Amino acid sequence: MTDFPGAPTTPSTGRLRVLAAMSGGVDSAVAAARAVEAGHEVTGVHLALSANPQSFRTGARGCCTIEDSRDAWRAADVIGIPFYVWDLAERFREDVIDDFVAEYAAGRTPNPCLRCNEKIKFAALLDKAIALGFDAVCTGHYARIVDLPDGARELHRAVDAAKDQSYVLGVLDADQLAHSLFPLGDTTKEAIREEAERRGLAVAKKPDSHDICFIADGDTQGFLAKHLGTATGDILDVDGTKLGEHDGAYGFTIGQRKGLRIGRPAADGKPRYVLDISPVNNTVTVGPVEGLDVTGLTAIRPRWCGTEPLADGRYTAQLRAHGEEVPVTASVVDGELRVQLDTPVRGIAPGQAVVLYDGTRVVGSATIATTERPAVTV
């Protein structure tokens, strides 16, 4: 490709042209600063993901406000890098928000952060960056990239186990990983905040964002109700007995206990949990906690950070964000990932991602489609 005037020469010295995605938070700001310090030529970019950004934060923290954009801008100025806002709202709506709503409508529980990484940050953004002459995208995710002597690249958990975000990066394939930079994986969050303070970044004390960024008030149910409307349906016992009614099956998640609005207590007096959601019949089935025990699962749309897992390979699996890691045996059969859990795990929802690990190394991920639950036949 013809280069444009002012573009630096080919990065033979390890100096890369890096596009730093800056949310306006402390992590991505420090990540960008570290990329500069590593000798890269860094440009900051804030992704506008909301078509109608809110002027001021209301209630829970999101990451789509004008204020966040300004914070990112100020951080870029302090670091001394050019800064731009890229409008990816349309792609975000199509690939993340619409998918999020459709998944709930289908009775599944999606993880929009994974989806955003797969489709936006390391796809739409990365593609545009590469086309514009950048070599890599840098983010403030807590994960480690390990380059092997043979040139292969591995994704590993961050040293700060509490902040580790390798789970939401499990969707990255080898090509995406080859163009990624995660400068924070070797540091604890606490140290990052101190570093931000030292660097004079005003976002050092900014609170972490926890919520789904496009649901600024944190009210997922209200958001879904707005998009999907309400539809009264039955709440059933495992034997099919009607126990009550609900306003929409999408309002429930497998393993949910609270807010069931069931008048009568169970015969055995034990609490009941959501075991199954059937969007076709608009029914929600509840039952005893044992009904949540999952011994195995099948997951679709696998994506591998390199090579796919060995047949009947021994790995560990993480089944939800911030979930514990459990030992498993995994195989790829007909393009689907089959996972057997050594010991049953409760409350696994279809739609969530299963991420396989080999020690600290991320093997890859897939979307949970079905689960094996010996205690129930729903």
Partner 1 sequence: MAGTMRRPGVRRPEALYNRMVMPYLDHAATTPMLPEAIAAMTAHLGVVGNASALHAAGRRARRVVEESRESLAESLGARPSEIVFTGGGTESDNLAVKGLYWARRDADPARTRVLSSPVEHHAVLDAVHWLSEHEGATVEYLPVDEYGRVHPEALRAAVERDPSSVALVTVMWANNEVGTVQPVRELAAVAAEYGIPMHADAVQALGQLPVSFAESGLTALTVTGHKIGGPFGIGALLLSRGATPVPLLHGGGQERDVRSGTLDAPGAAGFAAAAAVAVAHREEHAVVLGALRDSLVSAVLAAVPDAVLNGDPKPGGRLPANAHFSFPGCEGDALLMLLDAAGIECSTGSACTAGVPQPSHVLLAMGVDPLLARASLRFSLGHTSVREDVTALAEAIGPVVQRARNAGLASVRR
User: Which residues of this chain interact with partner 1, rule CB under 8 A?
Assistant: 1-7, 43, 46, 48, 53, 66, 69-70, 73, 82, 84-87, 89, 91, 119, 123-124, 127-128, 130-133
**Least separation in angstroms between CB 199 and partner 1:** 22
Q: Which two tokens stand for residue 181?
A: 């930079």
Q: What angle do CA 157, 159, 165 make, to 5 degrees?
A: 45
Distance (Å, whole) CA 286 – CA 301: 29
Annotated catalytic residue within 113, 116, 138, 305: 116
Instruction: Identify the CA nearest to 166 among candidates 175, 177, 155.
Output: 155
**For partner 1, which is the closer residue by CB, 81 or 330?**
81
Q: Are 214 and 47 contacting, i.e. CB atoms less than 8 angstroms apart?
A: no
Comparing CB distances to partner 1, the nearer of 127 and 147 is 127
* Complex with partner 1: residue 66 or 105, whichever CB lies closer: 66
Q: Which residue is catalytic, options 63, 138, 213, 305? A: 213
Smallest separation (angstroms) from partner 1 to the CB of 78: 17
The verdict on whether 63 is a catalytic residue reads no
The smaller minimum CB distance to partner 1, of residues 82 and 200, is found at 82
- Name every residue whose Cβ is closer than 8 Å to that of residue 339 and which is 6 or more positions away in sequence: 296, 297, 298, 299, 317, 328, 329, 330, 354, 356
Nearest to partner 1 of 130, 321 (CB atom): 130
Q: At closest approach, how far in Å is the CB of 70 from partner 1?
A: 8
Distance CA 121, CA 23 (A): 11
Least distance to partner 1, CB of residue 87, Å: 5
**Lookup: tokens for 70:** 């300004």
Shortest distance, position 91 Cβ to partner 1, whole Å: 7
At a CB cut-off of 8 Å and minimum separation 6, what does 193 contact? 26, 204, 205
Determine the Cα–Cα distance for residues 205 and 203; give it in Å rounded to an integer.
6
Closest by CA to 120, choosing from 52, 184, 172, is: 172
116 is catalytic: yes
C-alpha 82/C-alpha 73 separation (Å) is 9
Task: Give catalytic residue positions.
Answer: 116, 213
